[in-house]
Amino acid sequence: MAVSASSKVMNNVETVRETLYEAMKNDDRTVILGEDVGDRGNVFLITKDFVKEFGPERVIDTPIAEASIVGIAVGMAMEGLRPIAEIQFADFIYPAFNQIVGEAAKTRYRSNGEYTCPLVIRTPYGGGVRGALSHSVSIEALFYHVPGLKIVAPAFPADVKGLLNAAIDDPDPVLFLEHKKTYRLIKGEVPGGHYTIPLGKADVKKAGTQLTVVSYGLYVHWALEAANQLETEGISVEVVDLRSIRPMDRGTILESVRKTRKLLIVHEDNKFGGVGAEISAMVAEEALFDLDAPIRRHCAPDVPAMGYALPLEEEYMSSPGEMAEAMREMARF
């Protein structure tokens, strides 16, 4: 990848904004559509003033109708544009489920390759912001079962830029998940210039020898905090950031597990039927006899939603301390 020598420190939300701006500037086919993306500039001000520069034909304020947002974007993509459709919060994506699963994800297959659907669907997800039932959901498992759809959940600013560029360039639909708690919490060095990070490639954020922890999104940061604490206790933990949830980087996971011989999977979504279940099954099928302990999943409880009251939110979500204790138990096994 060609990367400029210049770089700067940005948080995640600034990185999303700058990457979208560069995409709009560099390719007239790129359009952004969604609720309040125009005059208001998005509820997080990600597209603030975009409409002044690029005009209302490329920065399109839509009605509150998620099925229409994605459905229109699918048609744009099939006709040669590069639409970036925003669902204001992941909790509102359900009306668009058929458009994403029944239309976008199947476009290449059902047309025998005659049509593709170069569509990015961006949406903020996740808890920890006192968002309660309607602004805290993790939706990845609902779409994880769908061939033809890629799912990306970066945790660090440099990854946000590289993966968002790759998603925009991809000829098929990508669901791009942005954890809202990381928007302003997480800062990092972001290379200048246009670069991409391949979709489907995980990254080892911390090397270790006694335990592999696989995570994504906000929980990568909590897992790193816990792993650094355990380092002071003489326990060496390797932290793998999936970055791309689907396609999943089987090679990186298996290489790490075969080295450490233990696996803990940490994610914010519900435990039952979650991403961790697929990782567990894959490792059990391909590396069972390399393991020294049962695979463990440290995930959200199987309740319908995250409560608004702080104790309910804290009970639903994990913490670095809770992750550290789960890691200690695995290391002692």
Backbone angles phi, psi at 187, to 5 degrees: -125, 155
Torsion 266-270-272-273 (CA) sign: negative
Provide Rg for the chain, Cα atoms.
20
Contacts of 289 (CB under 8 A, 6+ apart): none
Active-site hit among 135, 221, 267, 298: 135
Those residues with Cβ within 8 angstroms of residue 73's Cβ, 6 or more apart along the chain or in another chain = 33, 83, 84, 85, 119, 121
Please confirm, yes or no, whether 135 is among the known catalytic residues: yes
Distance in angstroms (rounded) separating the CA atoms of residues 331 and 333: 6
CA distance 272 to 298: 11
Q: Would you state the torsion angle of the CA atoms of residues 27, 40, 103, 278, taken in this order, to the nearest 10 degrees?
A: 100
**Cα gap 299→270, rounded to integer Å:** 6
> Would you name the residues annotated as active-site residues?
135
